[in-house]
Copies of this chain bind each other. A is one copy, B any other.
Amino acid sequence: MSPASPSARPPGRPRAGIEATVFAATLSTVHELGYAGATMDRIAAAAGVAKTTIYRRWPSKGALITDCLVDALGPVPLADAGREEIMASAIRWVAAKVSEPGVGAAFAGVFVDAVSDPALRQILSTRLQDPYRVVLQDVLDEPENRVLFFIDVIVGTLLHRMGMTGAPMVDADVTALVEMVVRHLTNGTGPA
C-alpha cells in the first residue's frame, strides 16, 4: 500500500496486496462468526494466507482488527459547508459505517479486549481515535468532548446492536436515534 516509488521497488518476493485480502477476510469472518469466533487461524484460512504471514504484519489480533476498522472507515467525508452540516454528516457517516457487516462486532470485540490490554489501548488510540479527532477538530474548532461524544454514542449503541446480529434482541429504529443525536449535538441540549 505504501511503496516508496515504482522503480525503487526492492528485490525479493512481493506481497501482492495481501493487506486488502486479509482485511476483507477478517471482516467477513467476524461478521459470520463474531469477534470471539473469528480465530486467527480461521481468518488466515479465509484469506488463503499463513497465520505467520499475518503476524509478520500485525503484532496482535486486536491490532489487525483495529487496522481493519481504520481501512473500513476510510477518511472522514468533510462536506464543504457550515460546522453544523459537517457535524451532522459526520455522525451519519459513522452510523452508516458501523452498520456495515462485521464492523460493529469488530468494534465491540476490540473495545472489550482493550480494557485488559494496555498495548491494544495504545494502538486503538493512535490508529482510530486520534486521527478522526484531529481531523474533525481542525474543522469544527470545538472542544474535543463534543466530537468524541458522538463517536461514543453512535459506536456504543450500534456496536451493541450489531453484536447481537446472530439473535437480535431488538429491532430499534436506529435512524431515529441518529437524527436525535444529530439534533442534540448541533443545537446544543435544546430541542429541534
Residues of chain A touching chain B, judged by Cβ–Cβ distance below 8 Å, are 33-37, 105, 108-109, 111-118, 121, 125, 129, 145, 148-149, 151-153, 155-161, 163-167, 169-173, 176-177, 180, 183-184, 189-192
Contact = CB atoms under 8 A, between A and B. Distances in A.
A115 B166 contact: yes
B149 A153 contact: no
Could you say which of A111, A112, A192 has the most chain B C-beta atoms within 10 Å of its C-beta? Answer: A112
A191 B114 CA distance: 37
A33 B166 contact: no
Contact of A169 (B33, B108, B148, B165): B148
Contacts of A36: 112-113, 115-117
28 contacts: A33-B116, A34-B115, A34-B116, A36-B113, A37-B116, A105-B115, A112-B163, A114-B163, A114-B164, A114-B166, A115-B163, A118-B166, A121-B167, A125-B167, A148-B169, A148-B170, A149-B172, A151-B170, A153-B157, A156-B156, A156-B157, A156-B161, A157-B157, A159-B160, A176-B189, A180-B184, A191-B191, A191-B192
Nearest 3 CB-CB pairings of A with B: A191-B191, A156-B160, A34-B115
A64 B183 CA distance: 40
A183 B189 CA distance: 11
Contacts of A35: 112, 115-116
Contacts of A148: 169-170, 172
A170 B149 contact: yes
